[in-house]
Amino acid sequence: MAESKCALYLAAGKPSRFLAPLVKYWGDAKIADINSGSIRQSAIDLYPNAKNSTRNRQVIVPTLAVINHCAELGHCSPLRMKRFKVDTKIKKPVTLEWINAFRAAAERPDIGALALFMFATGARVSEARCPMGRHCTYEQWVLIRQTKLGNERRAHIPAQLLVALANLPATEIPSPSPTPQQEIRGLVLSPPPALNRSRSTVAATASLQRSTTKGSGSKR
């Protein structure tokens, strides 16, 4: 998948997410010579220890997007292929009682507020990092940018979450052009892996069974 073909894709205003590893992997390969078998193998080569859902999202979907965009421009034929099989597992959702016990065990109030935010809004940890400052009215709703889907949605903020956020210390977000909204409350700067580790530590301390906030709060 030549870099020039990706450039055509990006020039059309398409997303660049996940493309860098693909460009490096394919090098100067002609896009017309890339087939479903080689794409599947590229996913395995690039992400040998990843789940099939990750391989689909980070390799197959963006690769097909570039190829089919080029097909629309007449550079190659369109391509369709099967994704890796993904097993759907039903995870036990947390309850408000679980969240309250978690918050009571958390030494950092921002970690407790994060858990409540995710529970109340249905946000993923990566989605919960920034909207509290830049898109939150602190009254009724918050704008959540869905990281995996690239969409936006509004989520209602219940009174308990509003109080938890209002009681957090203010944090300044570095920005080339600061705005009043960038004085935010809550944890927004820690990367998702660090936040996940913090949540796991608190849950273990409180002897809480590992559960998920997915399925809680507002619909994704």
Q: What is the pLDDT of residue 90?
A: 77
The two three-digit tokens of residue 148, written as one number = 């995996």
Tell me the C-alpha distance between 134 and 24, whole Å. 34
Tell me the C-alpha distance between 216 and 49, whole Å. 29
Categorize the per-residue pLDDT at 50 as very low, low, confident or very high, splitting at 50, 70 and 90.
very high
Q: What is the pLDDT of residue 87?
A: 84
Q: What are phi and psi of 191, to 5 degrees?
A: -70, 150
Give per-residue pLDDT as tens, 168-198. Answer: 776 543 333 333 333 333 334 444 555 556 6
Residue 136 bridge partners (DSSP): 142
What class is the 96-171+178-205 domain?
Answer: mainly alpha
**Model confidence pTM above 0.75:** no
Give per-residue pLDDT as tens, 116-147. Answer: 888 888 888 777 765 444 444 455 777 777 65
pLDDT greater than 90 at residue 52: yes
- For the chain, give every domain's residue range: 3-72, 96-171+178-205
Q: Which amino acid is at 203?
A: A
Residue that wins the pLDDT comparison between 136 and 51? 51
Tell me the C-alpha distance between 24 and 197, whole Å. 31
Chain length of the chain: 220
Q: What is the pLDDT of residue 71?
A: 93
- Secondary structure E strands in the chain: 141-145, 152-156, 170-172, 183-185
Give per-residue pLDDT as tens, 56-108. Answer: 999 999 999 999 999 999 989 999 999 999 988 777 888 889 889 988 888 88
Q: What is the pLDDT of residue 194?
A: 53
Tell me the C-alpha distance between 52 and 163, whole Å. 40
The two three-digit tokens of residue 58, written as one number = 């980070």
Q: What is the pLDDT of residue 196?
A: 58
Residue located via tokens 């992400």? 47
Q: How many CB atoms lie within 10 A of CB 40?
A: 17
Tell me the C-alpha distance between 38 and 34, whole Å. 6
Give per-residue pLDDT as tens, 6-24. Answer: 888 999 998 888 999 999 9
Residue that wins the pLDDT comparison between 47 and 88? 47
Q: What is the pLDDT of residue 1?
A: 61
